[in-house]
Chain A
Amino acid sequence: MKKKLFYLLFLLSVCLINIQKSKAQESQGLYSNSFSLGINSDAFTGMELGYHQKSTISNIPSCYYLNLNIPLLITAKQKKLDTWEIKAGAALELAKHKRFILLSDFNLFSIKHSQILGTFLPVGFNLKLTPGYRTKNGYIGLQTKFRQVLFTFMNHSEYVNEKFHEIYDSENRLVEIEPKNGLFAFTGSSLNYGIEGMFKLSNKLNMFYEMGMVNYLSKYTGSFDAMMIGQIPFYTDIQLNYKINQK
């Protein structure tokens, strides 16, 4: 079932990239060659650095991007850069009718996270759809973003190993078991929904923002009752894009 879901999602994303519905002119400012610097709500405060390259995909206005995301407070407390996320993807203006637009965004991400439970290297994708409205200086829209981890490499720590110790069977013999390291499929997914938008601050500077609620797609946890395991039901992200090579 999980594999079918993956294949369907993969096909959907391939189809989205190949849609040739948009007869829009070259975008007037939605996408640009730019560097970005942002703050997001990852572990309360994450910092994102990125580069965006304006392009077209099958005549659809788009941009490719590469982002590096670092959780600032975790890094400050650990006093080393041991946790980060890299995202590479494309944003597209799929359709446009007068001032109404349909935006899409697809990226692959890879994370490294070292923590008390061990070291984790997940790989996955984000797929976002945003119906929006173009304003004079940007746009605003309703965002739905699906995040799926495809696989995670887990290397458990001694803290986790210890949980498997001192277990005895009914004959009072020690049960010798250890947790399994390695690749695990589909370890996480979530659905974000909220608002996003962009507005022009100056000829060189745009601000992008998004905020909303997170649904962790777990039947055991509601929106607010799993904060004890770190499930914060809100997210926010603000980015400044500095245009380069713009006339």
Chain B
Amino acid sequence: MKTIILTFLFCGLLASCQDVDEFNTIVPATADENPDLPSVAIHVSGHDRLVHYQTYGNMENPALFILHGSASDMRAYLPLQVFSDKYFVVLWDMRGNGLSERCTKEELAIEEMVNEIEAMKKVFSPDKRINIMGHSWSAFFTARYLARYPDHVNQAILIEPNGLKDEFMKDVGNALNLFTERYMDMMYTTKYLTAKNHEMLDYQAMAMLSSGVRNFYCDKNNIPEWPVWRVGAYALMVWESSIINNGKYNFDYTEGLDQFPNKVLIVGTECSPIGYNFQEKYHQPLFKNAEVLRIENSGHRLLTEQFDALVSGVKSYLLEYKNELQ
């Protein structure tokens, strides 16, 4: 009898609990869950998905697409709206990231991320070439976009793309510091939180932003701030696993880059393992015409570390600003 009563009370307690996959419970809701968010539906990889976006500036101006990096969303990139005086700035959370709709593994394939850029171009700049800026993994997608759609792009800025070929990665190194306090906390968290859904997966991955496992910073003991609404953890897992085969890097996305006719600006920092030296050595030679901009005293999170230096360097490259100076 006591057992039955206790079981009944326990079930009652469980029934009163919240569910982690309820909207806006542990992570902010995505555009398909919260219709108040500014979003647009795009058709990629056989699916319609809602993409959370922001635009700044006059739609008549040349479009400047700004793509965020992995484990991120567009929040850290919003200050780049400074370019809206000359450009129609378009930022969005890529599918599977930020506050955009989550999607399947197949929809997150690298070629589908390139298709996403094309889909967004059809929405925001259907009749004109775009200018495009990508950071980290998005610089990777942007480079691939240049190879597939060279006549859709006017100017391109690649901010510290990952190695575009497997053999480049030997210079990056795989050194991971798993003994940071934050990473060990993440390990311990798996004793009671399981990534059964995107909400929990993204929630746990939030701790990754300050874990310091990979040293992409000038001072690994003072990791720069990086504002994010919601990490797209599954997307990052899919992208990283897609370039690895049997435990080794196995990919080559360098084909066609030399066909892009215009000058490309590649940005590299002083402290990042995929910084200035890496970009100059491996990526600059891949293009017909490329310049490498060096940002001093900064790591991979240069938007929060050296924002002014980045903007100044990019303005020196972008035609609308150069035309003004002339």
- Which residues of chain A have a CB within 8 Å of any CB of chain B? 3, 6-7, 10, 14, 42-44, 71, 73-74, 77-78, 83, 85, 111, 113, 115-117, 120, 122, 124, 147, 149-152, 154, 156, 159-160, 162-164, 166-170, 175, 177, 179-180, 182-190, 216-221, 225-226, 228-232
Contact, CB under 8 Å: B204 / A229: yes
Given contacts A117-B206, A122-B192, A149-B192, 4 further A-B contacts (CB under 8 A): A149-B193, A167-B99, A167-B229, A190-B190
Contact B204 A183 (CB under 8 A): no
A202 to B38, CA, bound (A): 70
Please indicate the chain B residues that have their CB under 8 angstroms from the CB of A189 in the complex: 194
Partner of A117, one of B18, B37, B203: B203
Give Cα A129–Cα B213 distance, bound, in whole angstroms.
36
Could you write out 9 A-B pairs with CB less than 8 Å apart?
A10-B7, A44-B179, A111-B192, A163-B28, A166-B229, A168-B54, A179-B27, A218-B201, A230-B187
Residue of B nearest to A162 (CB): B227
Query: Does residue B241 face the partner (Cβ distance < 8 Å to A)?
Result: yes
Q: Chain B contacts of A3 at CB under 8 A?
A: 11, 14-15
The complex places the Cα of A187 from the Cα of B28 at a distance, in Å, of 18
Beta-carbon contact of A85 and B191 below 8 Å: yes
Contact partners of A77 in chain B: CB under 8 A: 181, 184
**B213-230 interface with A by 8 A CB criterion:** 213, 227-230
- Do residues A175 and B196 form an inter-chain contact, with CB atoms below 8 A? no
Q: When the two chains form their complex, are residues B13 and A151 in contact, meaning their CB atoms are under 8 A apart?
A: yes
Given known contacts A184-B18, A190-B194, A229-B195, A163 and B185 CB-to-CB distance under 8 angstroms? no
B interface residue numbers (CB < 8 A to A): 3, 7, 10-11, 13-20, 22, 24-28, 34, 36-39, 54, 75, 99, 178-179, 181-198, 200-201, 203-208, 210, 213, 227-230, 233-234, 236-237, 240-241
In the docked arrangement, what's the CA distance between A2 and B188, Å?
24
Q: Are the CB atoms of A113 and B192 closer together than 8 Å?
A: yes
Residues of B near A115 (CB, < 8 A) are: 182, 185, 188-189, 207
Q: Is the CB of A221 within 8 A of B237?
A: yes
Q: How far is the CA of A142 from the CA of B233 in the complex (A)?
A: 34
> When the two chains form their complex, are residues A230 and B196 in contact, meaning their CB atoms are under 8 A apart?
no
With contacts A169-B38, A188-B194 known, is A7 near B11, CB below 8 A? yes
Nearest CB of chain A from residue B234's CB, rounded to whole Å: 6
Contact status B194-A229, CB under 8 Å: no
Closest beta carbon of chain A to B64's beta carbon, Å: 20
Contacts of A182 in B (CB 8 A): 17-18
| Cβ of A120 to closest chain B Cβ, rounded Å | 6
A174 to B37 CA separation, bound complex (whole angstroms): 10
Q: Which of A83, A151, A159, A169 sits near B206, CB closer than 8 Å?
A: A159
A6 to B38, CA, bound (A): 40
Known contacts A6-B14, A150-B14, A229-B205; decide if A188 and B191 are in contact (CB<8 Å): yes
Complex CA–CA separation, A85 to B192 (angstroms) = 11
Q: Given that A77-B184, A152-B193 are known contacts, is A170 also in contact with B37, CB under 8 Å in the complex?
A: yes
Within the complex, the shortest CB–CB distance from A125 to chain B, in Å, comes to 11
Question: B205 near A164 (CB under 8 angstroms)?
Answer: no
Could you tell me the distance in whole angstroms from the C-beta of B286 to the nearest C-beta in chain A?
Answer: 28
**Interface contact A220-B198, CB-CB below 8 Å:** yes
Are B196's CB and A179's CB within 8 A? no
